[in-house]
Amino acid sequence: MQRKHSESCSILLCFSLLYLNTNIYNNYYLVFFLPCIISYLTISVMFCRFDWRAYRWIQVMIFSIEEINKDPAILPNISLGYRILDSCASPTNALRAAITLASGLEEISTKINCFGVIGLLKLFRIVLVLLSQVSYFSTCACLSDRLKYPTFFRTAPSDFFQAKALAALVKRFGWQWIGVIQSDNDYGRNGILSFTEEVQKFGVCIAFVGKILRTYPMDKILNVVEMIKQSTVKVILAFVPEGDFYPLMSEIVKQNITGIQWIASESWITAPRPSTPEIYQAFGGTLGFVVQKMAIPNLQSFLTSISPYKDPSAAFVMDFWETVVGCRPFLPREHTGTKTTVKICTGNETLNSQHMFFKVSDLRVVYNVYNAVYAIAHALHQLVRNNANKIHTYYDIINWQLINGQVKHVTLGYFASVTNGAYELNIKDEDIVWRTGHMVPTSLCSNVCPVGTRKAHIKGKPICCFDCIPCADGTIANLTGKTNVHQKPVCHTKSNRQCTALQKEFSVTVVSLLGASLSLATMMVFIRYRETPVIKASNSELSCFLLFSLLLCFLCPLTFIGRPTVWTCMLRHTAFGVTFALCISCVLGKTIVVVTAFKATFPGNNAATKFGPAQQRIIVCSCTVIQILICILWLKLNPPFPEMVFKYSHKKIVLECNPGSEAAFYAVLGYIGLLAVICLVLAFLARKLPDNFNEARFITFSMLIFCSVWITFIPAYISSLGKLTVAVETFAILSSAFGLLICIFAPKCYIIMIKPEKNTKKHVMGKI
């Protein structure tokens, strides 16, 4: 056919129907829509470009049809043919051809049935109602509407899934402020709409939306360039076909606009034309998604067999040969009518198998073409039943990298659908080459607000743009980047105050662990020398119980260190109450043993036999269980909880433990005080014991110290504010525990370790 030149590529190139087998009784043909194979665009200079990628799609369709016709297992007794229509990337041209085909206005042999249409349909919605269609490159989410387009199917994933993948990528690297470039057609509009809906869920803001199209004049392209230069974004998504985007890419490189991390849609991320070192200067490190690559057996041998000398009437074969070989075949019957400066072939030339046209190991869109033909062959009614729009979603993640002076499309991960409608993003972060090097670029409209300030939205700006203003008195933002402040947040101390707080915590920890270590060491001494008279005379079993309870008492202050939580608030009061109840119960048992043991020395008194080891255990367990029941009721009815209090000062906010029930707290203290008073009274009654019998005297001293501490604790606790209440309670626990440990056990350890000569039965009995 004779080619016609025009400035907007408005000529529809139609090729007559070709048949592969003519002796079959039932023939069908497929209509194949291509993008612009031969484009004539005028921006400033007229030029002509042969698109070998689109021509390869044609050859893959022909290869697939021949393969199906040769396979007796697919469509037996049915032969497939094809008709190729070049839309020239023009919606008007494609619509004209589609309406002509659907209306039957074009004369077609009645022996031939149009079974389906395979089309690009990338940039527009042209769907024939009466014909089944399978698209290998149409990804617009708008075509998924089965009510509007019941006969449309595709072998490429919808842009709905690509939008999810792009949004997942933006979320993965924490980009909050991005720009968008879209093609001003259905592909760009619907793709960006889906993407915007996804990223808004993550709080991402769109700084600007630039619209471009290959037919736009240069002033519109320059407006988009100026928009990019004036914006503060560092990440830009270009959801646009390569043909529409290339003029803008060239202008960006020309004006040396660098430092931007580009995100690409699948339509241009692997396109060969922009993958050059010149374009890489501004677009290096580009990230994007592309459909999964596959291999087609025997395709390369088919492509290398193309020759204008075998079939001169084949579609575009002359232009293909001229592009790949570098000369135009001269056929005896060909008369061009116009002079050409292209070299005429001698007839001995062969195809260069190193040309990108013959690289079949990295097929993506080509494989969709292959699948589209087979989808038609495997019966459309199965596609309708299985809902062909719900195909498996899988994208490779591509990164532009400059290797050995050439731009390579390096696969670094994938985005795929998994079970239950979820999706998985897997990417090798460490292998990504960013535009800024090997550091992940940041893209924020405003920096994160520091602690003590809050976000203040700037009127007329997106939510990602804000000012940071100090919090009002009595409030503080205890986390960075908060919009609102807490009315009762945690007070964070800084600088010297923080160092002082750490020193206090360290001191309490050291004293607590020291007391626990002394208790444990004393217990080991009592176990080691349990057969000696001094240990036997002091009731070794109750002494070990008492030492164990003192060990727990010394560990209780550790629950007062650090930020109060629900668990520590409940534990610090209840643990203190139970351990001290166990401790005083053991002292009470020892006191009763001392009193009954002395009275047993009188003739006819059998009190010692009535208060043996079993009775001692019952006393200790009974007194402790009562305290446990009180604590359980406390935790059940109104447990302690952490509370943020700012009533003490407008500049300080304190997080403290609220006891919940004041009555329960004082009930725990009151019960411990009751046990201590009973011990003190019994020890006082034993004051007339012989002077050499020191056990009762030691118990009396320990109880006097214990009662003195806790009597002074109550008014001090009530009058203290904030963190001082913790200091008062911690001091009371440690001082009373040390008083019991020193008064009761220090004299015995002195005799055992320092004066072992006094640790004899004769000496002990002599003191009575």
**Against a cut of 0.75, is the pTM above it?**
no
Decide if 583 contacts 550 (C-beta within 8 A): yes
Q: Between 156 and 425, name the one with better pLDDT.
A: 425
695-719 and 566-599 helices, crossing angle to 10°: 150
Confidence of residue 159 (pLDDT cuts 50, 70, 90): confident
The pair of structure tokens assigned to 310 is 């075998």
Query: Cα separation of 594 and 683, whole Å?
Result: 9
pLDDT at 698: 82
pLDDT digits (tens, 9 = 90+) for 91-108: 666 666 666 665 555 554
pLDDT at 381: 35
Decide if 579 contacts 553 (C-beta within 8 A): yes
pLDDT digits (tens, 9 = 90+) for 525-545: 888 888 888 787 777 888 888
Q: How many other C-beta atoms can be found within 10 angstroms of the C-beta atom of residue 120? A: 23
Q: Which fold has domain 495-766?
A: Rhopdopsin 7-helix transmembrane proteins (1.20.1070)
pLDDT digits (tens, 9 = 90+) for 643-667: 877 666 666 667 888 888 889 998 9
Q: Is the pLDDT of residue 633 over 90?
A: yes
Decide if 455 contacts 466 (C-beta within 8 A): yes
pLDDT at 39: 43
Confidence of residue 748 (pLDDT cuts 50, 70, 90): confident
If you average pLDDT over residues 427-435, what whole number do you get? 89
Range 159-294+394-431 has CATH code 3.40.640.10: no
What Å distances lie between residue 218 and 44, 221, 464, 506, 553, CA to CA? 9, 5, 32, 71, 83
Same fold, 13-157+296-386 and 495-766: no
Decide if 519 contacts 547 (C-beta within 8 A): yes
Triad 503, 505, 507: Cα angle to 5°: 70
pLDDT at 45: 36
What Å distances lie between residue 386 and 144, 421, 552, CA to CA? 14, 17, 69
pLDDT at 23: 27
Query: Cα separation of 623 and 582, whole Å?
Result: 7
Please tell me which of 95-104, 137-146, 358-367, 614-623 the model is most confident about, judged by mean pLDDT: 614-623
pLDDT at 14: 28
The pair of structure tokens assigned to 70 is 């040769």
pLDDT digits (tens, 9 = 90+) for 279-300: 999 999 999 998 877 767 777 6
Long-range CB contact pairs, 499-508, < 8 A, 24+? 504/727, 505/561, 505/562, 508/557, 508/558, 508/560, 508/561, 508/730
Q: Between 26 and 199, name the one with better pLDDT.
A: 199
Domain ranges of the chain: 13-157+296-386, 159-294+394-431, 495-766
Decide if 740 contacts 706 (C-beta within 8 A): yes
Confidence of residue 165 (pLDDT cuts 50, 70, 90): very high
pLDDT at 492: 40
Lowest average pLDDT, out of 81-90, 236-245, 289-298, 487-496, goes to 487-496
pLDDT at 42: 34
Percent of the chain exceeding pLDDT 90 equals: 25
pLDDT at 334: 56
Q: Between 160 and 54, name the one with better pLDDT.
A: 160
Q: Is the pLDDT of residue 116 over 80?
A: no
Query: Cα separation of 678 and 588, whole Å?
Result: 7
Percent of the chain exceeding pLDDT 70 equals: 69
Q: Between 506 and 412, name the one with better pLDDT.
A: 412
Query: Cα separation of 714 and 583, whole Å?
Result: 20
Lowest average pLDDT, out of 156-160, 309-313, 385-389, goes to 385-389
pLDDT digits (tens, 9 = 90+) for 323-379: 777 787 876 655 544 455 678 887 777 776 656 676 666 666 677 777 777 776 765
3-class secondary structure, 101: helix
Please tell me which of 270-279, 320-329, 375-384, 687-696 the model is most confident about, judged by mean pLDDT: 270-279
Query: Cα separation of 347 and 334, whole Å?
Result: 14
Query: Cα separation of 330 and 307, whole Å?
Result: 12
Mean pLDDT of the chain: 76
Decide if 238 contacts 262 (C-beta within 8 A): yes
Q: Is the pLDDT of residue 686 over 60?
A: yes
Q: Which fold has domain 13-157+296-386?
A: Rossmann fold (3.40.50)
pLDDT at 391: 55
Q: Is the pLDDT of residue 732 over 70?
A: yes
pLDDT digits (tens, 9 = 90+) for 38-87: 443 333 333 345 676 777 777 888 888 888 778 766 766 667 777 776 66
pLDDT at 701: 85
pLDDT at 354: 58
Q: Is the pLDDT of residue 737 over 80?
A: yes
pLDDT digits (tens, 9 = 90+) for 170-227: 999 999 999 999 999 888 998 999 999 999 998 899 999 999 998 899 999 999 999 9
